[in-house]
Amino acid sequence: MILLKGAEVSSKLKAEVTAVVSAMEGHIPTAAIVRVGERPDDLSYERNAMKKIASFGMEARSFVFPEHISEEEFEREFRAINENPEIDGILLFRPLPSQIDSRLPERMIDPRKDLDGISPINSAKIFAGEKDGFAPCTAEAVMEILKAYEIDPAGKRVVVIGRSMVVGRPLSMLLLNANATVTICHTRTKDLRAVCREADILVAAAGKVGMVTAEDVLPGTVVIDVGINVDENGKLCGDVKWDGIEDVASAATPVPGGVGSVTTAVLAKHLCMAAARR
């Protein structure tokens, strides 16, 4: 079984991005990373994103607001970041606290600065198969892994478990745009195992520890594990139970070290694209 390593995909993206950045004649693409509150997940993602953007030769500025910020004040602050000409791209951590309507930043964000594809304009572009939209970074990270390992989804049966706006849905559209035959599964899917066993490529993005096992996988399947969970021992793990997977799958992504590490590289790539387009 081939281990699909995120680090290798990330270094390929780094080479592409640094070449474009060095041709920008002194302009350093700059991201705003916007966080409300102190959620540990956000803090950890923020650290990784800042590190990755710096290692790709670009800049990231962090904007932090208190958990209890009012909707009006958040709107004012977010508008200022959005309109700041020094900012090429924005990453906003979500979910936001309940006093802020999540649709507010989704509709406000300049689609050209929307690094994680939260604007309905970018969703529509991904849906329509237009090339100049920004997809959510995690969905695109899966596509980058397939591309880097020369796994062409065209004509293949791909099963995606999960239908969220962050992963499952946009990823299904990207796969469809790449000519895959896509089945989207969710909590109401009947006989999930039978559906999984039809897959040439199986993507687990449910956020459920060990929900995909070797029995869900037919010999030769490519298994992509998007899940980032914590098991009962406090260890980071995906949605795929690893025991026995090596014996059936032809290739699989590890957790950690798989999709997650490519997600921040795609974020950096989007920042470079956003700056280049401006």
Give binding residues for NADP(+) as ranges: 162-164, 228
Quote the CA–CA distance of 38 and 64 in Å, as a whole number: 9
Q: Are 207 and 184 spatial neighbours (Cβ–Cβ below 8 Å)?
A: no
Q: How far is the CB of 84 from ligand NAD (least distance, A)?
A: 26
Q: Would you say 118 or 185 has its CB closer to ligand NAD?
A: 185
Q: Site residues (CB under 6 A) for ligand NAD? A: 138, 161-164, 166-168, 185-187, 189, 192, 205-208, 211, 226-229, 259-260, 263
Q: Which two tokens stand for residue 81?
A: 């970041």
> Is the peptide bond between 256 and the residue preceding it cis, with omega within 30 degrees of 0?
yes
Q: Are 201 and 158 spatial neighbours (Cβ–Cβ below 8 Å)?
A: yes
Distances (CA, A) of 13 to 107, 141, 217, 272, 277: 29, 10, 30, 11, 18
Q: Would you say 89 or 260 has its CB closer to ligand NAD?
A: 260
Residue found under tokens 């899966």: 142
Q: How far is the CB of 52 from ligand NAD (least distance, A)?
A: 12
Q: Would you say 29 or 162 has its CB closer to ligand NAD?
A: 162
Instruction: Give the H/E segment covering residue 202.
Output: strand 201-204
Q: How far is the CB of 237 from ligand NAD (least distance, A)?
A: 9
Q: Would you say 119 or 261 has its CB closer to ligand NAD?
A: 261
261 Cα distance to chain centroid = 10
Q: Which two tokens stand for residue 98?
A: 């309940």
Comparing CA positions, the residue from 143, 144, 127, 126 lying closest to residue 135 is 126
Q: Would you say 57 or 168 has its CB closer to ligand NAD?
A: 168
Q: For the chain, give me the number of helices (H) and strands (E)? A: 10, 11
Q: How far is the CB of 7 from ligand NAD (least distance, A)?
A: 14
Q: How far is the CB of 234 from ligand NAD (least distance, A)?
A: 15
Q: How far is the CB of 57 from ligand NAD (least distance, A)?
A: 22
Cβ atoms < 10 Å from Cβ of 202: 27
Quote the CA–CA distance of 188 and 14 in Å, as a whole number: 39
Instruction: Give the H/E segment covering residue 36.
Output: strand 30-36
Q: Which two tokens stand for residue 201?
A: 């490529």
Q: How far is the CB of 83 from ligand NAD (least distance, A)?
A: 28
